[in-house]
With several copies, the nearest count.
Chain A
Amino acid sequence: MNFLLTEQPINPTALREKMLSPQAGAYCSYEGWVRDHNEGKEVAELHYSSYTQLAPSIADQILTEAKEKFNVTAAIVHRTGPLRVGDIAVWVGVTAHHRGDTFLACRYIIDNVKFRLPIWKKEIYTDNSEAWIENNHCGCADPANLQIHHKHEC
């Protein structure tokens, strides 16, 4: 299964190399980076915690759905533990014969990772206050909705 939770820094160059295939004509990747601000507050650090015994089976479901819908090869790596500004929180890589499938699948996967993978983010601000992020989905209650591209997402 092409899923990894890791406390180590994510290496996109190494992950990309694992995706190489002479049959693939298109490669789309997505990375979520830790920003220096969120909703007006200066972010010093994020802390991701996960339910490690549950996450792999959920990731596997998401990857299987993407393969069935879009006929792609795909992988997900999510970091946990403390992250600093500029760190990669999540990486998704997708290959396919043609580009359209890679974009749709990559978007499908990251949307569902954010909505369904049992991982939670605490923001620690430069003033030392901290907060668990309540919801990063703008009220999208149903994963089926995630196939639609939201104009204004969080």
Chain B
Amino acid sequence: MQIKVLYFAQLADLAGRTEEQIEVSERSAESLYADLRTAYNFPHDFKQLQVAINHELSAHETPLEEGDEIAFLPPMTGG
């Protein structure tokens, strides 16, 4: 299943990109994040991040669908 991952802020810096297509076998956002964390050395625990799917905030356990765009959002620091 193809998923598009969007990276912001520190995660974009560490991944060296702002987005990428990933082939996943599980429908779990937590499992996907665990793989990305290992690959890019992200500092955050999954529960520290908010999850957005298709540009809407989503529950951490929302199952992924083919073609979803997912973003893992570090604590926001605007203002």
Instruction: Verify whether A and B have any Cβ pair under 8 Å.
Output: yes
Q: Chain A interface (Cβ within 8 Å of chain B)?
A: 32, 48-51, 53-54, 57-58, 78, 89-90, 99, 110, 113-122, 132-137
- Main DSSP-derived SS at the B contact region: mixed
Complex Cα–Cα for A119 and B77 (A): 6
The residues of B with any CB-CB pair to A shorter than 8 Å are: 6, 8-10, 12-13, 52, 55-57, 71, 73-79
**When the two chains form their complex, are residues A119 and B76 in contact, meaning their CB atoms are under 8 A apart?**
yes
A120, B74: Cβ atoms closer than 8 Å: yes
Q: Which of B13, B57, B74 contacts A54 (CB 8 A)?
A: B57
- The minimal Cβ–Cβ distance linking B69 to chain A, given in whole angstroms, is 9
Complex: A117 Cα to B77 Cα, angstroms: 8
The answer to whether A134 and B77 have CB atoms under 8 Å apart is: yes
* Chain A minimum-CB-distance residue to B54: A53
Decide: A117 and B52 in contact? CB cutoff 8 A.
Answer: no
